[in-house]
């Protein structure tokens, strides 16, 4: 894999838990791969959470959305890398997605908008709007419904790495 994992200065150390790599061609050959991968990884990483079953359900729900975003990449080659690591109550998903330059720009813009204070309002507008949810809306929903924080990190030239922190332990009940 071409990307290098690093923690920005002052960040806590996230302990790696599981990683799955797939050729993007293989991944996009069947939609159900999103469901399979999200469900499998959710089960694997939730075993030692306070409530493993509920955690697994929540994690799968959020992670599947990210994988469905990745599924729509327009880049025909390369590797999809899904890595999950943990620090305390937060699980971090690092999703390295092959993408074309326009998609790279899209992700950077979408993630910067997710961080905006009006994220919730924009999400509600999208739900009440006529259009099917865009990839940007999916990222917004992660922030609004799962309290996720998102950022984009450098990856190889034809890939983007989405880093999504999910504090799901705090969402229980």
Binding site for other proteins (CB under 8 A): 31-32, 34-36, 47, 50-54, 56-58, 60-62, 64-65, 68, 123-124, 127-128, 130, 132-133, 137-138, 141, 144-146, 171-173
CB closer to other proteins out of 13 and 48? 48
> E-strand spans in 63-108?
79-87, 90-98
Min dist CB 141 to other proteins, Å, is 6
Smallest separation (angstroms) from other proteins to the CB of 172? 7
Closest separation in Å from C-beta 45 to other proteins: 13
β-partners of residue 161 are 96, 153
* Shortest spacing between CB 147 and other proteins, in angstroms: 10
Tokens of 109: 């813009």
- Which contacts (CB < 8 Å, 24+ apart) does range 64-67 have? 64/34, 64/35, 64/38, 64/39, 65/138, 65/141, 65/142, 66/93, 66/95, 66/138, 66/142, 66/162, 66/164, 67/33, 67/34, 67/37, 67/38, 67/95
97 versus 155: smaller Cβ distance to other proteins: 97
Rounded least distance, CB 31 to other proteins, Å: 4
Q: In terms of CB distance, is 3 or 126 closer to other proteins?
A: 126
At 173 the three-state DSSP class reads coil
The residue among 20 and 171 lying less far from other proteins, judged by its C-beta, is 171
Nearer to other proteins, 133 or 152 (CB): 133
CB 103 within 8 A of CB 31: no
For the chain, give the number of residues.
173
């Amino acid at each position: 894999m071409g990307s290098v994992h690093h923690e920005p200065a002052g960040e806590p150390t996230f302990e790696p838990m599981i990683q799955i790599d797939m050729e993007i061609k293989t991944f996009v050959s069947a939609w159900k791969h999103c469901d399979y991968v999200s469900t499998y990884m959710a089960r694997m990483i939730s075993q030692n959470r306070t409530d493993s079953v509920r955690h697994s359900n929540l994690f799968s729900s959020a992670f599947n959305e990210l994988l469905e975003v990745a599924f729509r990449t327009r880049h025909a080659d390369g590797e999809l890398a899904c890595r999950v690591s943990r620090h305390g109550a937060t699980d971090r998903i690092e999703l390295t997605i092959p993408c074309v330059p326009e998609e790279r720009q899209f992700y950077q813009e979408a993630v910067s908008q997710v961080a905006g204070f009006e994220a919730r309002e924009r999400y509600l507008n999208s739900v009440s709007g006529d259009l099917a949810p865009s990839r940007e809306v999916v990222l917004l929903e992660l922030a609004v419904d799962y309290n996720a924080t998102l950022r984009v990190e450098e990856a190889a030239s034809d890939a983007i790495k989405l880093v999504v922190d999910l504090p799901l332990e705090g969402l229980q009940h």
